[in-house]
Chain A
Amino acid sequence: MNTDDLIDQLGRDVTVARPLPAPGIRTVLWTGWAITYLVVVAVMMFTVMSSTGVVPTPLYLVQQGAALITGIVAARAALASVIPGANSRVWVMPAIGAGVWGLALLWAGVLDLREFGTLGVSGESDWPCVVSMTVGGLVVGAPLAWMVRRGAPLTPGRTAFLAALAALSFANVEACVMRPHVFALTVLLWHGGTAAAIAALCALTGSRWLRWPDLATR
């Protein structure tokens, strides 16, 4: 088709397209949903067990705080990555957040080693947390996936990775609340490993579920 004819056709097809809210506003909306989910899970745990068994040491709070901040900035980065011309370096903040989370867990592992004389790697498996994080990640991540799909799939792999990281960071907090662990390295290996594997899978398949709309039929 001739370009001039295409322009005329697009002009005939044009409908109202309300501008998307800024990525910051959309991040606040999604964070509201994710925190509501966490609160509901925590309340259910208290209702059923009267206590979650969590001992909120300062280091534990740093870990969970870093995970939450990683989730929020990763969601912000994912939502910005579907806006053409937005800052392309937004992924730096999630990387810093994840780094702080990992370092806090490593430091906690050193403290475990001093206290118990072991890192607890062989003593504790964590398959229930893998399931919990996957399900929690789906519940928290589904609205985020819907939100990023409304944007432009400029870098589908990176967007999918960031969205998965955001959802799984919150799911990690949920898993830590539901099933407290004795050893920090277990959390790093099982929760971190689950988050890394699912986020990598999302990055690899991102171009399949974050595609340009079917332009040929327009």
Chain B
Amino acid sequence: MDESPAPDEHLAHLMARAQQGDSTAYVTLLRAITPRVRQLVRARRRFLSESDVEDVVQEVLLSVHAVRATYDPARPLIPWLSAIVRHRLADAGRRDVRRGAREIGVDDLDVTFQAPAANTREEMFGDPDALAQAIQALPPGQRQAVELLKLRELSLKEASALTGMSIAALKVATHRAITSLRRALRGIDEG
């Protein structure tokens, strides 16, 4: 995707046409501002994962759509857009803080189930060091697939864009990696 910024006058003109109901101009505008919004979000929230960045970008686009009547075509578009990005980022930050305060990470709960059938071998295994070592021992392609898809929880499309691997190749690599990890960890567990 072309990440070079479009001139502000052109964007303002597109928005003015979009306000008149011109769908083509509107889509062109949204495609032109999306890389800039993405760039702003990444710059202000460096710790966000790609999927979180994309969530904020989509929220900004929806907000632009909702309040497009507040844009004055006589003024530059970028300060208007930047203000929306800034406030939506702050909203997202506040929401995350609230959510963090109310929710408990289920992964951290030290619980098990009484029924023997519920206590599978995978659930009982809990040595993160051994898991980390097993991941490190994987071939580079498989290791990358596990890290992106399972640890960073990217989508197949996002992982494909990052690595240059096809979606099918990623699926195969992940499947082989999981099989290898299961075998390696079972060996540790039984040993």
Which A residues are closer than 8 A to B by beta carbons? 1-3, 6-8, 10-20, 22, 82-86, 150-152, 154-155, 212-213, 215, 218
Contacts and interface: CB of A to CB of B under 8 A. Distances in A.
B82 interface: yes
A84 B68 contact: no
Which of B63, B65, B75 has the most A CB atoms < 10 Å from its CB? B65
Given A17-B69, A151-B70, A218-B66, A11 B26 contact: yes
Contact of B70 (A12, A83, A218): A83
Interface in B1-51: 18-24, 26-27, 30-31, 34
Given A7-B61, A20-B70, A12 B23 contact: yes
Given A11-B27, A150-B69, A155 B19 contact: no
A79 B62 CA distance: 22
Given A85-B75, A85-B83, A151-B70, A15 B21 contact: yes
Given A212-B63, A215-B63, A14 B21 contact: yes
B150 interface: no
Contacts of B82: 85
A16 B66 contact: no
A134 to B, nearest CB: 30
29 contacts: A1-B58, A3-B34, A3-B57, A3-B58, A6-B58, A10-B27, A10-B62, A11-B23, A11-B30, A14-B65, A17-B18, A17-B68, A18-B69, A19-B19, A19-B71, A19-B73, A83-B70, A84-B83, A84-B87, A85-B75, A85-B80, A85-B82, A151-B67, A152-B63, A152-B66, A152-B84, A154-B84, A212-B66, A215-B59
Select the residue from A85, A86, A151, A154 with max chain B CB neighbours within 10 A.
Answer: A85
B69 A20 contact: yes
Contact of B19 (A2, A18, A151, A154): A18
A13 B19 contact: no
A14 B23 contact: yes
A84 B67 contact: yes
Contacts of A151: 67, 70
A10 B61 contact: yes
Contacts of A85: 75, 79-80, 82-83
Contacts of A13: 65
A12 B73 CA distance: 22
B15 to A, nearest CB: 9
B26 A14 contact: yes
